[in-house]
């Protein structure tokens, strides 16, 4: 890549004049360009096979859509980055869009990773859900559209193949079968109810099923059932019959199972009224592994489907491995370029198809129908949400309808494992990717000091906002704060906000009222008398849902922190002792306390503990004393 170039618009120049001024410095190289406004905020990021030709198209004063004309008019400067190839320009463009979130680009707002099923590397493998980087040893199958889709698949697989789902630590510590064995969901390998060879055969069957070879499994199970029946082993025959029945139910519940498409993502777009929905179906091993809808920001009703779909695909596969085929509802403008970029990323050929007939066309048609129906529901929900936000503004006397509401809550047990939680809501409903949790760090806090906890949370939150977005231009500043509490909490929060110089943000305390009963909430504002809303007011229900969601998120965060603390041992702090060595030490000595008291010779006798590590462990505990 070459060096980046930039310039500033001469005073009083128009957008066209600015853009035309760059033409003499550009050549026909491929690359990426950025258009910036007077505050140096990025308006748009684009790629070009020929930078000079693309920029010259913007320099023309006429012939643009209203959206592009607005963007050109706001442009005061541009930046350029040349690349070696067009494919490199495409990848760089999508990375910059995700990083900078320009106003005039199509932006994929929900970009979480997708879960997989992991069969662990173990003599008696565990089958479990996995999300994130594939660092753990084992074999991965996926992706699945959601955690719910994985959980359903895991429940079905344990019914059919009777594989364990307990952790390795629990597996190694069992002395008798657990409930899973009693309800015929596991073969209890932990206590030797099944041999390693027989369990391995069940694992192979499960992996064959996850690879799309379920017919072969059914035939084998049917043969085993017949053999058991012939040998008059009727209990075993009945168990095999139940497994065949469960496998049939799994296949039926998956809905559309393509016959000729073994691996593909089916991607369909529906545009309406300046909003977009993209529906993605995951087909792996000839099975439907769920679907997910996305609502990318398009910003204009004039935008073309090809542009939206290309931007979505580029951003969606930025951190995901693409399948062998993408079945699309609309053709892309640069389909050859996108196919090359995805193929380079996957290290194998990736084909982009817009099928017109046959099974693949039916799959796309089904996804398109889902996209259309999902967008209709979303638009109806957005209209309702807009009315609720307007009603909220009227009820609390706000100057404008809020676009971002932040709700705060704390959770602790007598001050221990204290956490703060923040949830966010806006015109599109709950914005879960904006939720934040705060581990309360204050060492000088009195246990149970809710005011002190709230002060720490808000101070940390707004110090960061002041540092990262001082001019409030990024849309991360709240228009309204909802606090779980009454007049005392509101007064404390106001003092905190005044101290930080952000006293202009409206705040409301939500107190449960005299009877602490839902429906009798009182609302407190600084310098005003408390008031209540009528019992059947939709705005009241809306506020209750926000408060309950904040409480749910805070409680969940607190429980996770508490559970982690419960499972912690002094061994966690010993350098060089990871999960495997920790299990070996606990299995040998029985407890962390016994490890801390063990002699050096006894530590060296533990399998997997080297002499040098044994000395480190011994020194760690004895130096501590």
**Average pLDDT score over the chain:** 84
Q: Do the beta carbons of residue 347 and residue 170 sit within 8 Å? A: no
Cα gap 429→378, rounded to integer Å: 10
Beta partners for residue 31, in sequence order: 48, 82
- Report CA-CA distances (Å) from 48 to 79, 88, 328, 490: 13, 11, 23, 53
448-500: pLDDT as tens digits: 567 778 888 888 899 999 988 888 877 889 999 998 888 888 888 898 889 88
Mean pLDDT of the region 416-426 = 84
Mean pLDDT of the region 266-288 = 90
Chain centroid, CA 432 distance in Å:
9
- Looking at residue 357, the DSSP 8-state letter turns out to be S
Determine the pLDDT at residue 369.
94
Q: What are phi and psi of 254, to 5 degrees?
A: -80, -5
Write down the residue that tokens 């704060």 correspond to.
481
Q: Which pair of structure tokens corresponds to residue 16?
A: 């066209």
Beta partners for residue 81, in sequence order: 32
Beta partners for residue 279, in sequence order: 268, 293
Determine the pLDDT at residue 39.
85
pLDDT band for 515, please (50, 70, 90 cuts).
low
Strand ranges for 183-236 from DSSP E: none
SS3 125: coil
Write down the residue that tokens 């979480």 correspond to.
112
- Report CA-CA distances (Å) from 444 to 415, 441, 453: 12, 9, 11
- Report CA-CA distances (Å) from 479 to 68, 404, 424, 472, 495: 30, 5, 11, 11, 18
129-188: pLDDT as tens digits: 998 888 889 999 888 888 887 888 888 788 778 889 888 888 888 888 999 898 888 999
Mean pLDDT of the region 527-546 = 88
Determine the pLDDT at residue 625.
46
Q: Do the beta carbons of residue 442 and residue 458 sit within 8 Å? A: no
SS3 408: strand
- Closest by CA to 254, choosing from 157, 134, 181, is 157
Cα gap 526→484, rounded to integer Å: 14
Determine the pLDDT at residue 475.
81
H-assigned helices in 469-512: 487-500
Residue 110 scores a pLDDT above 50? yes
Determine the pLDDT at residue 153.
80
Residue 9 scores a pLDDT above 50? no
Mean pLDDT of the region 213-226 = 71
Q: All domains of the chain, ordered by start, with CATH? A: 5-100 (3.40.1440.10), 264-376 (3.30.420), 405-564 (3.30.420.340), 570-624 (1.10.150.20)
pLDDT higher at 115 or 285? 115
Total-model pTM: 0.71
pLDDT higher at 203 or 160? 203
328-380: pLDDT as tens digits: 999 998 899 999 999 998 899 999 999 999 999 999 999 999 999 999 888 88
Write down the residue that tokens 């055969």 correspond to.
201
Residue 40 scores a pLDDT above 80? yes
Determine the pLDDT at residue 443.
59
Cα gap 123→192, rounded to integer Å: 12
Determine the pLDDT at residue 264.
92
Question: For the ranges 284-288, 319-323, 547-551, 572-576, which has the lowest average pLDDT?
Answer: 572-576
Determine the pLDDT at residue 196.
92
Q: What are phi and psi of 397, to 5 degrees?
A: 65, 35
Mean pLDDT of the region 577-606 = 82
Determine the pLDDT at residue 67.
87
- Looking at residue 446, the DSSP 8-state letter turns out to be P
Mean pLDDT of the region 26-50 = 92
Determine the pLDDT at residue 1.
45
- Closest by CA to 425, choosing from 381, 471, 463, is 381
Rg (C-alpha) for the chain, rounded Å, is 30
């Amino acid at each position: 890549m070459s060096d980046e170039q930039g310039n500033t618009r001469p005073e009083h120049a128009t957008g066209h004049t600015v853009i035309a001024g760059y033409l003499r410095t550009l050549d026909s190289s491929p690359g990426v360009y950025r258009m910036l406004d007077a505050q140096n905020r990025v308006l748009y990021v684009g790629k070009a096979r020929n930078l000079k030709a693309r920029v010259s198209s913007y320099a023309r004063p006429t012939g643009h859509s209203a959206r592009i004309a607005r963007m050109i008019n706001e442009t005061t400067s541009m930046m350029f980055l040349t690349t070696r190839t067009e494919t490199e320009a495409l990848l760089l463009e999508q990375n910059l869009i995700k990083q900078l979130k320009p106003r005039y680009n199509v932006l994929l707002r929900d970009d979480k990773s997708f879960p997989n099923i992991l069969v662990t590397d173990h003599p008696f493998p565990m089958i479990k859900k996995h999300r994130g980087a594939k660092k753990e040893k084992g074999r991965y199958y996926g992706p699945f559209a959601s955690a719910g889709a994985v959980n359903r698949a895991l429940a079905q697989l344990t019914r059919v193949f009777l594989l364990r789902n307990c952790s390795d630590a629990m597996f190694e510590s069992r002395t008798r079968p657990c409930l899973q064995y009693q309800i015929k969901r596991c073969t209890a390998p932990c206590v030797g109810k099944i041999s390693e060879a027989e369990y391995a055969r069940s694992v192979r069957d499960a992996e064959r099923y996850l690879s799309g070879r379920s017919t072969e499994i059914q035939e084998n199970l049917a043969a085993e059932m017949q053999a058991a029946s012939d040998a008059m082993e009727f209990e075993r025959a009945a168990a095999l019959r139940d497994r065949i029945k469960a496998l049939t139910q799994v296949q039926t519940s998956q809905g559309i199972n393509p016959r000729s498409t073994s691996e593909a993502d089916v991607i369909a777009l529906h545009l309406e009224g300046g909003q977009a929905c993209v529906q993605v179906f995951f087909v792996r091993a000839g099975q439907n592994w769920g679907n997910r809808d996305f609502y990318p920001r398009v910003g204009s009703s004039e935008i073309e489907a090809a542009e939206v779909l290309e931007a979505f695909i580029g951003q969606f596969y930025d951190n995901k491995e693409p399948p062998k085929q993408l079945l699309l509802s609309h053709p892309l403008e640069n389909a050859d370029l996108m196919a090359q970029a995805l193929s380079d990323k996957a290290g194998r050929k990736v084909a982009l198809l817009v099928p017109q007939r046959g099974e693949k066309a039916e799959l796309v048609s089904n996804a398109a129908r889902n996209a259309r129906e999902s967008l209709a529901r979303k638009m109806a929900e957005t209209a309702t949400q807009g009315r609720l936000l307007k009603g909220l503004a009227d009820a609390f006397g706000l100057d404008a309808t809020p676009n971002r509401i932040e709700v705060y809550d704390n959770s602790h047990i007598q001050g221990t494992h204290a956490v703060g939680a923040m949830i966010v809501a806006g015109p599109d409903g709950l914005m879960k990717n904006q939720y934040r949790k705060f581990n309360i760090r204050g060492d000088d806090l009195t246990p149970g000091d809710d005011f002190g906890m709230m002060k720490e949370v808000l101070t940390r939150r707004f110090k960061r906002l002041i540092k990262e977005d001082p001019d409030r231009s990024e849309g991360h500043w709240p228009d309204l704060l909802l606090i779980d509490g009454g007049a005392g909490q509101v007064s404390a929060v106001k003092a905190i906000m005044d101290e930080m110089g952000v006293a202009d943000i409206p705040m409301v305390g939500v107190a449960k009222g005299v009877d602490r009963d839902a429906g009798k909430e009182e609302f407190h504002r600084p310098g005003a008398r408390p008031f209540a809303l009528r019992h059947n007011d939709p705005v009241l229900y809306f506020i209750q849902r926000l408060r309950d969601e904040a409480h749910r998120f805070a409680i969940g965060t607190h429980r996770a922190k508490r559970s982690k603390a419960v499972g912690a041992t002094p061994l966690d702090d010993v350098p060089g002792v990871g999960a495997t060595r920790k299990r070996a030490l606990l299995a040998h000595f029985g407890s962390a306390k016994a490890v801390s008291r063990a002699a050096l010779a006894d530590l060296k006798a533990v399998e997997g503990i080297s002499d040098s590590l044994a000395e480190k462990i011994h020194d760690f505990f004895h130096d501590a004393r």
